[in-house]
Amino acid sequence: MAGDKQQLGSILILTLLMLLFLQYVAVAVVNSTNISSQIVANFQRGQQLKKTAIKAIDVVINNQDHFASYSKYLNSLGEFSANFTTITATGLKVKIIYFKCLDLGPAESHLDCDLSNEYWQLNLQVEDLVSKAKIDLVQGVRLNRLLNSARTGSQPFTVSTLWWYQK
């Protein structure tokens, strides 16, 4: 009889330990699921930031007036600005870090950029205002001058993208 009580006590302790172990496993599974869903959500938000940044780059480089009348788009601090309201999703902010020509002489400043400059670089940042996540993209651009554009009335250049990278 005493052996049966000891055996029942041992089984009870083993059962409690097994339940405790199963509880830890269940908590680990729930935490793992939460972490996985957070990783997926962060990835999707990052892709949305990148897509918005690419759209913003397209807005800047596809508007030939940004190159032809560069100084018109500079604010009082000498920073380039463009209108991104059509592409900016709710909760996102697009900011141009810099947009300037690269092939200037040593004595020139970016304020001297015009159609005579062949190589340009655009760096912009998209920020999620809620999570404060940011993405920076840099796009290199080349202006290709067209011959006889004055006679045909077309723009005197085309724009081609050269390089881009994510900071």
pLDDT in tens, 38-61: 889 889 988 999 999 999 999 999
What's the pLDDT score for residue 7? 74
82's tokens: 């463009």
When computed from its CA atoms, the radius of gyration of the chain, rounded to whole angstroms, is 30
Predicted pLDDT of residue 139: 94
CB atoms within 10 A of CB 76: 5
Which tens digits make up the pLDDT trace of 122-150? 999 999 988 889 999 999 999 988 776 55
Give pLDDT, residue 2: 58
Task: Find tokens 């670089």 and name the residue.
Answer: 121
User: Which two tokens mark 111?
Assistant: 């304020």
- Would residue 117 be called left, alpha or beta, if left means φ above 0 and alpha means ψ between -120 and 50 degrees? beta
* Mean pLDDT, rounded, of the chain: 84
Tokens representing 45 are 């938000």
- Taking the C-alpha atoms of residue 167 and residue 148, their distance in angstroms, rounded to an integer, is 39
pLDDT tens per residue across span 83-99? 887 777 678 899 999 99
Amino acid letter, 44: Q
- pLDDT above 90 (res 12): no
**pLDDT for residue 31:** 83
Q: 95-128 burial string, b = 16+ CB within 10 Å, else e? A: ebeebbbeebeeeeebeebebebeebbbbbbbbb
Give the 3-state secondary structure of residue 130: coil
Quickly count: other Cβ atoms within 10 Å of residue 60's Cβ: 22
